[in-house]
Amino acid sequence: MGKDVIIIGGGANAVSAYTRIPAGPGISSVTFVAPHPIGLGGAFGTTDPELLCNTSVDVTSLDPEGASGLLTYLTARGWPTGRDDFVPRYLVGQYCRERYRQARTAAHERGTTTRHLTARARTVRRDGDRYTVRLDDGREVTGSDVLVCLGLDRPRLPDQLRPHRAHPELLTSPYPIRRLRALPTDATVLLYGTKLSAIDAALVLLAGDSGRRVVMTSPSGALPAVRTRLCRPDKALLETDRWLALDPRSPYLDTQITRILVSALSRHAPRRGLGRQTSTASTPATRLAEELHLATTGAAAWQDVIAETIDTINEWAAPWSPQTRTDVLSRFREPITRYISAIPAANARRLAAHQATGALHIADAMPKQVRPRPDGGWLVRWPGGREEHVDRVVCAAGYHAPRLTWGDDGALHLDGSGGTDAHITEDLRVTPDPSVPGERVWAIGAAAHRRTPIVNYLRTAAFHAREVGAQLARP
């Protein structure tokens, strides 16, 4: 009898995993458990053309190696696209959907059945050498191997907003985007967040002839850096082996990493030091304008080492303990969010234009207090005592990573309700106890964030999928 594989989740990562399920007689069936059509998950399931990828076509691929699958897909359909481009995210959803259909046909031809149960999975429990996945509609499905491909779909709500989570004039997430478009066109909106999903929200709220005003706020008050590409270099720029040999507990780690990056950049762009590639302006508007200028005049050479940096950090951190991971990553949180998650120049240009007209303002502090007014709208009290009336509040402050936990019932709980955090082994298996071999349950993409530092990136999930596919191919 062959293996019966269960894939939990139906976004891009699930499709990447599906395409890596080995061809051959060893796999009898694949069952997807996902609440939506396969391929059309959160980030890439949108239909809104305003929402751009922040990763270039080159790295936004279901396959980590070779030519970009997305580039091949788009050029075959006549899109005038190159590997540097940041395309609308809905195109990635279409690419994933089509790759899923092709893979399903190929699987069918070699005798593997594929089915999709439209539901969410709640728990995974071992029964002998099989696993039972319990769904939220009461059904159960059993299989020999389980791939957990959950994405980011639990928005973070700042403490200030928690008491008001059910208020009709608060959107706790910017998605689905049509709710933003439905807000009054003359509304003043207080927008929590200054990173990617908040930028999505600001651009949608201010698009076209909108008369809206948006005030963005976050603890850092900082926008991501600006880039014109995120591509794999034609030949390696980074001394990866030197980086991988660094001791993560070294007190000199910041200097050692900086040296590796500076030496890569001095070979790549010899006449431009790192200090001349970035802006340190203290106001977000000036910094955005300066970084946009640097990126669009070809001066931001740093962007060319980012793809290798992400791959290297993920490989370097793979064997670490959770404590080491937390300690090291907290030291580098700022560069990771600013430069690794930089925004496309097209989005930066639109933000800068809205700032110039006064439609967009980025607050330099978080409000002291935000509360609904009895006659509608919200009262915002800023540090220093200034008060402001806004019509709506939108929260785009990021997402909780999926939390896999074990419960007293011996089952893996996918919604964090189990009590004890699951361990993810270096080969991505889920286990209740790091001293015993992992289950035949694997975490891919965001679900593996306790093992892999940079998971909000399709390329990372594609590496995970390749690794898990290789393990599935073994008897």
Ligand X SMILES: Cc1cc2nc3c(=O)[nH]c(=O)nc-3n(C[C@H](O)[C@H](O)[C@H](O)COP(=O)(O)OP(=O)(O)OC[C@H]3O[C@@H](n4cnc5c(N)ncnc54)[C@H](O)[C@@H]3O)c2cc1C
Please give the residue ranges that form the binding site for ligand X (CB under 6 A).
Answer: 8-14, 33-36, 41-44, 53-55, 60, 120-121, 149-153, 196-197, 414, 445-446, 456-458, 461
Comparing CB distances to ligand X, the nearer of 349 and 371 is 349
Q: 114: which DSSP letter?
A: E
Residues 6+ apart with CB under 8 A from 391: 169, 183, 184, 187, 188, 189, 376, 377, 378
Comparing CB distances to ligand X, the nearer of 223 and 390 is 223
Comparing CB distances to ligand X, the nearer of 15 and 363 is 15
DSSP-assigned beta bridge partners for residue 424: 430
Residue 449: CB minimum distance to ligand X, A: 11
Comparing CB distances to ligand X, the nearer of 193 and 438 is 193
Comparing CB distances to ligand X, the nearer of 238 and 454 is 454
Tokens for 123, please give them. Answer: 């728990």
Comparing CB distances to ligand X, the nearer of 87 and 472 is 87
Q: Which long-range contacts (CB under 8 A, 24 or more apart) does 98-101 make?
A: 98/39, 98/73, 99/15, 99/19, 99/39, 99/62, 99/69, 99/73, 100/15, 100/18, 100/38, 100/39
The answer to whether the beta carbons of residues 331 and 253 sit under 8 Å apart is yes
Report how far residue 363's alpha carbon sits from residue 218's, in angstroms, rounded to the nearest whole number: 8
Residue 405: CB minimum distance to ligand X, A: 13
Angle at the Cα of 313 (from 309 to 317), degrees rounded to 5?
175
Comparing CB distances to ligand X, the nearer of 194 and 279 is 194
Report how far residue 267's alpha carbon sits from residue 108's, in angstroms, rounded to the nearest whole number: 50
The answer to whether the beta carbons of residues 309 and 238 sit under 8 Å apart is yes
Comparing CB distances to ligand X, the nearer of 85 and 164 is 85
The answer to whether the beta carbons of residues 360 and 285 sit under 8 Å apart is no
Comparing CB distances to ligand X, the nearer of 198 and 265 is 198
Tokens for 475, please give them. Answer: 């008897």
Residue 360: CB minimum distance to ligand X, A: 19
Tokens for 156, please give them. Answer: 């973070």
Residue 72: CB minimum distance to ligand X, A: 17
3 state SS of 162: helix
The answer to whether the beta carbons of residues 443 and 404 sit under 8 Å apart is yes
Residue 32: CB minimum distance to ligand X, A: 8
Comparing CB distances to ligand X, the nearer of 118 and 369 is 118
Residue 247: CB minimum distance to ligand X, A: 30
Residue 21: CB minimum distance to ligand X, A: 16
Residue 462: CB minimum distance to ligand X, A: 8
Residue 341: CB minimum distance to ligand X, A: 9
**Cis ω for the linkage preceding 25 (within 30 of 0):** no
- Write the single-letter amino acid at 317: A
Q: How does 55-73 read in b/e, with b if 16+ C-beta sit within 10 Å?
A: bbbbbbbbbbeeebbbbeb
Residue 312: CB minimum distance to ligand X, A: 17
Report the relative pairing of strands 369-372 and 378-381 from DSSP bridges: antiparallel
DSSP-assigned beta bridge partners for residue 180: none
Comparing CB distances to ligand X, the nearer of 150 and 351 is 150
Residue 148: CB minimum distance to ligand X, A: 9
For residue 356, the surrounding DSSP H or E stretch is: helix 345-357
3 state SS of 135: strand
Comparing CB distances to ligand X, the nearer of 189 and 289 is 189
Report how far residue 426's alpha carbon sits from residue 441's, in angstroms, rounded to the nearest whole number: 13
Residue 414: CB minimum distance to ligand X, A: 5
